[in-house]
Structure 1
């Protein structure tokens, strides 16, 4: 069991275990190289908010992972969410101010990291935290239901929640890292790495979370692998051509039975991808 797991929360596997990665060029862009963690993307993980989630803060399982608010990745992210907030009604949002929400009603400044001695902390905006959780989190008993008001509004409107929520909220539990890499032949590629947002993804403080779902068998209960259930998000992160190639290559690896399984997923892995199942 992961030593980070609190004694009163569902168990988690350790953070270090064999993983299988795949690397390929984006068919739509020869300067875009994708590195993907197949062990994670073929796992049975799914969000269990409200049905087994133990929460990241002890005693507040109903908050899920919404206790610390969400930092905005850039101006586009902030602008998109601001437009969505303007569509929320008091029926959608428990903490709706009753008038047209201003940015100060739902954002506040914070520091991204602890600064080194003698250095200034890096400032950024995040969603406001009220009574220990994100301002958009409707509490149990609210007529619109518990959970993210932006998420629920998107579903009510027939949209995907990635269109309304902050980037970090819909990207979890996948972690995307991007960097330009100069290769020995003087060519240059943008490398997108797609992997598991485990406890380490939160930085040093991740080990202090009461519970984290990606390594817990409690959350590995989906009928299909993550590469399928998380399809819209992966398209948004990689582009449609790269996602299609990722699906094709994942199917081929599952057919060959070569994917190193995620230790939190059940045995045998009860997931199928286009009728393909590892042996």
Structure 2
């Protein structure tokens, strides 16, 4: 049975800064999330988003495309796959994608087969279980974000982008970097069998989330902005995070022989606050 998830509403710390490389680009980031110890535990304890679907992780419904560039990336990536490494091998974009409904509008996504994404190799497949695109990227020596659909490599980071009008009438492009929690899925998110960002079982990473997802964050906001974000995250961690992610705090408390530690200045990692 999964460990109970933490509530969706809790205190968070945010930081806002201007991209050092672009005065018209502002980043607003959730430090509570980025300094959490979340890590992907696919195949290592992930309970899956559907009942009985733990081997499928969050790949049960396929992936909707964000734009034409996203579709083009998948077309090129799929050409690199062979039946040896892709269990449900298909040729042709329309054969491994399908049109579904998204927010009341028709939208294309990766097709599904036997209850999960067509690119997901099942447990027991000789070519290796897991995402065929992810594995091919590793074989080719590139980061998986270069081969996978946007939603797949961005999860569980949520990036909202909009123009922000200031009181003086000037505008900046605002990127909000936050946790993709159950609400990020819309109404259906509350019905998921399990979701990792709220689970202490997935907050067991060896480093803070902003480091583990460095390449993904760089792809989202650009290298100069990520470098500044990483500097600010490290500085906050040294001083001690006030609003620790409750799932990270719970995971720390459950470590064998580990007592909850304070967040006094000087700590190089986000720790749970002292118990009262």
Q: TM-score w.r.t. structure 1 length?
A: 0.90
4+ residue segments displaced more than 6 Å = none
Aligned to 2:256: none
Cα offset, 1:203, TM superposition:
0.3
CA distance in 2 between counterparts of 1:164 and 1:185 reads 42
Aligned 1:216-231 pairs, distance under 5 A:
216-231=199-214
The C-alpha deviation readout for 1:141-162, integer Å capped at 9, x for no partner, is 1112111000010011111000
Q: Hey, what's the Cα distance between the residues in 2 that align with 1:258 and 1:153?
A: 38
Whether the 8 Å contact between 2:39 and 2:203 is mirrored in structure 1 is yes
Displacement of 1:9: 2.9
Contact 1:44 1:269 in 2 (8 A): no
Matched, 1:183 2:166: yes
Structure 1 residue aligned with 2:94: 104
How far the C-alpha of 1:227 sits from its partner, in A, is: 0.4
Contact kept? 2:35, 2:270, Cα under 8 Å: no
| Cα distance in 2 for residues equivalent to 1:154 and 1:269 | 39
TM-score (norm 2): 0.91
Q: In the aligned structure 2, how far is the partner of 1:269 from the partner of 1:238?
A: 33
CA contact (8 A) 1:136 1:148 kept: yes
Q: Does 1:165 align with 2:148?
A: yes
Gaps of 5+ in 1: 1-7, 114-120
CA RMSD of aligned residues (A): 1.6
Structure 1 residue aligned with 2:234: 251
Q: Give the drift of 1:243.
A: 0.3
Q: Deviations over 1:83-128 (max 9, x none)?
A: 000110111100113xxx1012110001112xxxxxxx31110000
Aligned positions of 1:78-157 closer than 5 A: 78-97=71-90, 101-113=91-103, 121-157=104-140
Distance 1:230 1:269 in 2: 25
- Which of 39, 56, 77 is the aligned partner of 2:32? 39
**Structure 2 spans left out of the alignment, 5+ residues:** 254-259, 272-276
Looking at structure 1, the residues matched to 190 and 6 of structure 2 have their Cα atoms a distance apart, in angstroms, of 13
The Cα of 1:42 is off from its aligned counterpart by 0.4
